[in-house]
Structure 1
């Protein structure tokens, strides 16, 4: 505004000089006019020569100098009312007053940003006019000029304040714009984000260099191209668009804002992923003028997310889908089948004898074996199947189309046959197998949870059938499972409620038939379910991890009862593999013997060959420590399990029990059974072990085992399992008979 102020001063000076012409000496008017011009030019050129300070603050000295400029102009113009208006006629005085008022108004407008200079100019000149008018006796005019001057000063301060606020807003906006520019420049340097803009026809306008570079197109050539065509690339001609591009087209057509919209694009033959966000733009009259948005290349982020997703849904050891993905696929399969009215199926696989590989050869070999198993499973899968690993040695197969039940059963059989073939790993030939439970929906379950439960129940049935087979779910399996659940609840409190008791079956000398001991047999009579056979509740107790507390009770009860018998009568107690794995088992044995006052050699623990499958858990060491206590060990059901002679060489058993099935078959003259019984007896004699024939029920069988040379015999022929009262009576009769002899 410096030139505007200069012009106002020159015009006002010329007008004043013209009004004073002929009223004052020429030299006075010329001198005053020259002073006005000199001061106005000096002030104007000083303003124009001042360096623009941008957003910095002015110093106090700079502000004070502007005040001197205002004072200089005020002194020069105050000469008009003080010197020239004294002898001027009233008409001339009025004209001079109007000229000064216009000048003051122009100064208030032009010099408002320099508020100190403006206030000094207005205040001094206004005071001079008020004093002159008051001395001339025109009080009303003096009051009017005073009010006019005060009003101009107030307007000046108000306008100055407004200008400061406007400038502060401009500074803040400039700072934000600069920040945005810096951010965009940073994004462009990292090839991350870029801006894009379209017109009403969805054509690209004002394409940025960064956007053109991202599209690998020339900035001039991309201008005016349809935005969707640029993103579609080669698929623009075929119309085979990605789902994300169709969503984008719908958003643009509906003129809706959107964000985080990801879609695949092809840049120079390379597949990339972009993320878009945009909002519609509107003109001053509210008309739609296009879209303004930002785009990001998120290819690396998506690849990282895909890797994380794969880690979350695929098993790291085998590469097969894990439990999460299997469940998601099953849920999706059920939903699709419900819409189409189709059938689906679920197989649950469990490897047989895999734990033995882990325990004997170690987990590294077991992990490699799982890898080989997964390879064989993957080779058997078609497009309608998904095979995954649930964890450990459990696998599952989701069948999307189960319309052909026979084909599914053939697949289950092929899986069993394939997994049962030998594996060659690190010079080891490994043999395992598989058991499979099959459930077909919606008959066996309309939800993923129900179908998995049905397949799991069918798998249990396959294991009970001897493993290496598949079984299909049947409704009674659920009834059996519910029965197991109820029995398990009752079993947990059976000992505390006094529902358990022991029965004792005599063990006699095979040659003389004299009583040598008893085998303690556990029985359970539930008030709710009646008498439950051991074949039913013992496996349940092992599965529910209740065998340890129940076995402890059996040991303590049997030892306490045997302590009341003559010192040559032994007590035999069956021990499971789970008990031997218990770190406190040795303490339990020692405590039971000590509390009962029973000598260790009178206690015989019967174990089956299955306990040696847990050798990696230190079972052999536990057996050796039991022998160190003086307890006798008996190998039960020899010949029905794995029958490895290595077991006999690693543990000093006192006796071997021959299973009743061999005794019965041998009594019938079955050649193989006879050979087995003779071989076992000969083996035991060579190892200085006793033999016990189980299941002797007739005199012929007794005579046979005598001829074969068995040491002891046990069976209904000598006595059924009896109550503790009957066992005591039998012991007393035997003792009396011995005393009489």
Structure 2
């Protein structure tokens, strides 16, 4: 539809609706006006021809009148053409096309009038001469009005309609029809030419419009964008340097016009030839005349290195001759620095600056690949700081972070250039030794690390002391893959921590067996808690003088269906590591309270509480729930804690103990003197009982002066603070007599009874009426 509307507009039978149509109209008028002198010249030749042929047979008045009319019409047509040309066709109108049609019609009428005015019938020579002239006039008119079909048709139709007058005799019928057909054929040819003219100029107008848009966009892109355009000639020299490109280099366009592109980008490196790899790649692409994109290379600008990204394609002329390159460039320094920073964060620890876990693993992979089956191969050290958690809890993470940065600094200083150290996470670090000279070298480096990391640290106004434990593994014996080697080093570190820390332990094969045993115990323990495989035993606590039972200590035991009884020394540490100690402890508490309510009202039940339980905000609520559900008087419940709770003061354990005391619950300090003993602990919390560990009881029974002195001191301290003392592990009459002499108020041990079931404990009170269920 659009093509049909454009053709009708070109014929003068419609209006141009868009800018492209107006451009086509201007092209029609411009073409017609351009060839107007040709039409004028032919009309003048025709006029002279008519004077030459018909001056004898036609009255002079006719010739003069017709000639004046012809010249007047030509003059008017020239004036209109000059007027349109003076306006530069800036605002073409359809009426201009109509006026052109009027001019064509006027010329057609004049030549049709010549057919009527000039005699021919009596002279066949004049007839053929006139027909020849008329044919030339029609062809010339058609050509000169070809871009304006309306003018061409207006010119040809009067001539065609006058053909019967030209050929009047019957014998000239065929010539008459030929003349009419000839004129109509020229009209049809004009329409077809106009259709092609409109199509071609429409495409040209659209291309010109797109070119203007592209030029505008390129100009805006060049002036306001962060990128710029550049091009070279066939010799790889800069050509047509844009202001934006030169401004980015800090130069004037004239300074670099005609210089080799690589020279401009190389800067001072051009003299010594030490080009960056990116410049070499650019030179290769230019030499091979091949396209390239997103080529990043360093560029020296004002003594500083910037990063540019270039893309370009080769240019060729119509004959396929290489003309150079044209491309686009942009400054990607900011993106490059951001990418480098991201890469840094991806492979390095942001706090310490050491390689992170993944980078450390990559280094270990490379070391193991290089070592192969060599014996000894490479080694991996896993380092864990001792007592770091206490610093974090008491002084805060900010101090802890500063401490870690100092640890990293010391670790860098200890390790040689061939050794690769990094931070695994938290307070764990790792060291890769790519080539181990002998096993003693690993032990020596581990000892140096422990010694350096154990020296005092000065952080802000604090002097801090932490130790370090090291576990090591060596390929290929301890692992043929990096994951296996890290696992082996981790097991060795676990052993070093289990021995108190501050030591180095190498991996041994049995550590895997122990780890597997712990894993199986953990899985079975989770199932035991769900399937009620645990049970509670009760060990009597008696009065040292009277020998009567004053309480029981609740002890959890586990009997596995297949493995049989499992020692608490095995499953309790696993429960603490697996975070199962809290649910197990709450179950023991509820069970013990439910049983103790059946005993006499002066008999207490003691339940052990781990440091982890005291860190839970819900622990106090669990104790209250157990007392409420069982109906046990809070004064009959005694909770036993060890000195380890004081190593986590920042967790709020002391606050929880104060809340328990406010409920009327008794507190007992278990294993006093075996851990982190400090008299300050006793001043912070009002304990009711201090329990003396069996190791001191055995030592005192063997007359060891140190053990005797410790028991006397503890008893004296407890009496002065209003506390009682309980001696644990009394198994003989001699030990009982000894602790009585030393002043212990209560005694617990196999001498008075082993841990027993709840029903057996109830039998110790035969005259007490048990509460009905």
Normalising by structure 2, we get a TM-score of: 0.86
In the alignment, the residues of structure 1 paired with residue 249 and residue 682 of structure 2 have an alpha-carbon distance, to the nearest angstrom, of: 78
What residue is the counterpart of 2:653 in the other structure?
619
> Contact 2:670–2:690 at 8 Å: present in 1 too?
yes
Relative distance call for 1:708 and 1:217 in structure 2 (3 A) is: same
Corresponding residue SS for 2:382? strand
Corresponding residue SS for 1:521? strand
Range with bigger deviation, 569-578 or 279-288: 279-288
User: Equivalences for 1:557-636 in 2 at 5 Å?
Assistant: 557-636=591-670
> Contact 2:380–2:486 at 8 Å: present in 1 too?
yes
What residue is the counterpart of 2:472 in the other structure?
438
> Contact 2:375–2:476 at 8 Å: present in 1 too?
no
Structure 1 residue 230 displacement after superposition: 3.8
> What is the CA deviation profile of residues 396-432 of structure 1, one whole-angstrom value per residue up to 9, with x for unaligned ones?
3444555565444433333322222222334332222
User: Equivalences for 1:286-435 in 2 at 5 Å?
Assistant: 286=320, 288-327=322-361, 329-330=363-364, 343-402=377-436, 406-435=440-469
What residue is the counterpart of 1:243 in the other structure?
277
Unaligned segments of structure 1, at least 5 residues: 737-741
Structure 1 residue 45 displacement after superposition: 4.1
Structure 1 residue 689 displacement after superposition: 0.7
In the alignment, the residues of structure 2 paired with residue 409 and residue 712 of structure 1 have an alpha-carbon distance, to the nearest angstrom, of: 49
Relative distance call for 1:658 and 1:178 in structure 2 (3 A) is: farther
In the alignment, the residues of structure 2 paired with residue 672 and residue 129 of structure 1 have an alpha-carbon distance, to the nearest angstrom, of: 150
> What is the CA deviation profile of residues 512-558 of structure 1, one whole-angstrom value per residue up to 9, with x for unaligned ones?
33322221111112223332221221222222222222112111211
In the alignment, the residues of structure 2 paired with residue 404 and residue 620 of structure 1 have an alpha-carbon distance, to the nearest angstrom, of: 50
Matched, 1:271 2:271: no
In the alignment, the residues of structure 2 paired with residue 645 and residue 351 of structure 1 have an alpha-carbon distance, to the nearest angstrom, of: 27
What residue is the counterpart of 2:315 in the other structure?
281
> Contact 1:351–1:434 at 8 Å: present in 2 too?
yes
In the alignment, the residues of structure 2 paired with residue 94 and residue 526 of structure 1 have an alpha-carbon distance, to the nearest angstrom, of: 133
In the alignment, the residues of structure 1 paired with residue 206 and residue 331 of structure 2 have an alpha-carbon distance, to the nearest angstrom, of: 31
What residue is the counterpart of 2:146 in the other structure?
112
Matched, 1:11 2:28: no
> What is the CA deviation profile of residues 288-332 of structure 1, one whole-angstrom value per residue up to 9, with x for unaligned ones?
554332222222322233334444544444344444544555556
> What is the CA deviation profile of residues 260-311 of structure 1, one whole-angstrom value per residue up to 9, with x for unaligned ones?
1111122343212111112233444445554332222222322233334444
In the alignment, the residues of structure 1 paired with residue 187 and residue 731 of structure 2 have an alpha-carbon distance, to the nearest angstrom, of: 132
In the alignment, the residues of structure 2 paired with residue 313 and residue 269 of structure 1 have an alpha-carbon distance, to the nearest angstrom, of: 30
Relative distance call for 1:310 and 1:726 in structure 2 (3 A) is: same
> Contact 1:260–1:275 at 8 Å: present in 2 too?
yes
Relative distance call for 1:188 and 1:95 in structure 2 (3 A) is: same
User: Equivalences for 1:659-678 in 2 at 5 Å?
Assistant: 659-678=693-712
In the alignment, the residues of structure 1 paired with residue 637 and residue 401 of structure 2 have an alpha-carbon distance, to the nearest angstrom, of: 41
Corresponding residue SS for 1:684? helix
Corresponding residue SS for 2:648? helix
Corresponding residue SS for 1:492? helix
Matched, 1:679 2:710: no
What residue is the counterpart of 2:223 in the other structure?
189
Unaligned segments of structure 2, at least 5 residues: 1-30
In the alignment, the residues of structure 2 paired with residue 639 and residue 256 of structure 1 have an alpha-carbon distance, to the nearest angstrom, of: 83
Range with bigger deviation, 574-583 or 220-229: 220-229
Matched, 1:62 2:93: no
> Contact 1:17–1:29 at 8 Å: present in 2 too?
no
Corresponding residue SS for 1:364? helix
Corresponding residue SS for 2:92? coil
In the alignment, the residues of structure 1 paired with residue 716 and residue 385 of structure 2 have an alpha-carbon distance, to the nearest angstrom, of: 37
What residue is the counterpart of 1:511 in the other structure?
545
What residue is the counterpart of 1:156 in the other structure?
190
What residue is the counterpart of 1:739 in the other structure?
none
Q: How many residues align?
A: 735
What residue is the counterpart of 2:740 in the other structure?
706
> Contact 1:9–1:36 at 8 Å: present in 2 too?
no
Corresponding residue SS for 2:451? helix
What residue is the counterpart of 2:727 in the other structure?
693
Relative distance call for 1:219 and 1:567 in structure 2 (3 A) is: closer
> Contact 2:54–2:118 at 8 Å: present in 1 too?
no
Structure 1 residue 653 displacement after superposition: 0.9
> Contact 1:6–1:41 at 8 Å: present in 2 too?
no
> What is the CA deviation profile of residues 709-732 of structure 1, one whole-angstrom value per residue up to 9, with x for unaligned ones?
111122233333233344344x14
Structure 1 residue 370 displacement after superposition: 2.9
In the alignment, the residues of structure 1 paired with residue 259 and residue 375 of structure 2 have an alpha-carbon distance, to the nearest angstrom, of: 48
In the alignment, the residues of structure 1 paired with residue 89 and residue 605 of structure 2 have an alpha-carbon distance, to the nearest angstrom, of: 103
Relative distance call for 1:252 and 1:601 in structure 2 (3 A) is: same
Corresponding residue SS for 1:261? strand
> Contact 1:111–1:117 at 8 Å: present in 2 too?
yes
> What is the CA deviation profile of residues 443-488 of structure 1, one whole-angstrom value per residue up to 9, with x for unaligned ones?
5455554444343333322221212223333443333333333322
In the alignment, the residues of structure 1 paired with residue 58 and residue 97 of structure 2 have an alpha-carbon distance, to the nearest angstrom, of: 37
> Contact 1:638–1:657 at 8 Å: present in 2 too?
yes
User: Equivalences for 1:26-105 in 2 at 5 Å?
Assistant: 26-50=60-84, 58-84=92-118, 87=121, 89-105=123-139
In the alignment, the residues of structure 1 paired with residue 89 and residue 668 of structure 2 have an alpha-carbon distance, to the nearest angstrom, of: 100
Structure 1 residue 343 displacement after superposition: 4.8
Relative distance call for 1:386 and 1:167 in structure 2 (3 A) is: farther
Relative distance call for 1:427 and 1:30 in structure 2 (3 A) is: same
What residue is the counterpart of 2:691 in the other structure?
657
Matched, 1:491 2:522: no
Match for residue 545 of structure 1 among 579, 584, 588: 579
> Contact 1:5–1:106 at 8 Å: present in 2 too?
no
In the alignment, the residues of structure 1 paired with residue 371 and residue 317 of structure 2 have an alpha-carbon distance, to the nearest angstrom, of: 52
In the alignment, the residues of structure 2 paired with residue 121 and residue 480 of structure 1 have an alpha-carbon distance, to the nearest angstrom, of: 114
Relative distance call for 1:443 and 1:215 in structure 2 (3 A) is: farther
Structure 1 residue 685 displacement after superposition: 1.0
Relative distance call for 1:533 and 1:110 in structure 2 (3 A) is: farther
Relative distance call for 1:485 and 1:36 in structure 2 (3 A) is: farther
In the alignment, the residues of structure 2 paired with residue 544 and residue 195 of structure 1 have an alpha-carbon distance, to the nearest angstrom, of: 64
> What is the CA deviation profile of residues 643-673 of structure 1, one whole-angstrom value per residue up to 9, with x for unaligned ones?
2222212221110111222222333333333
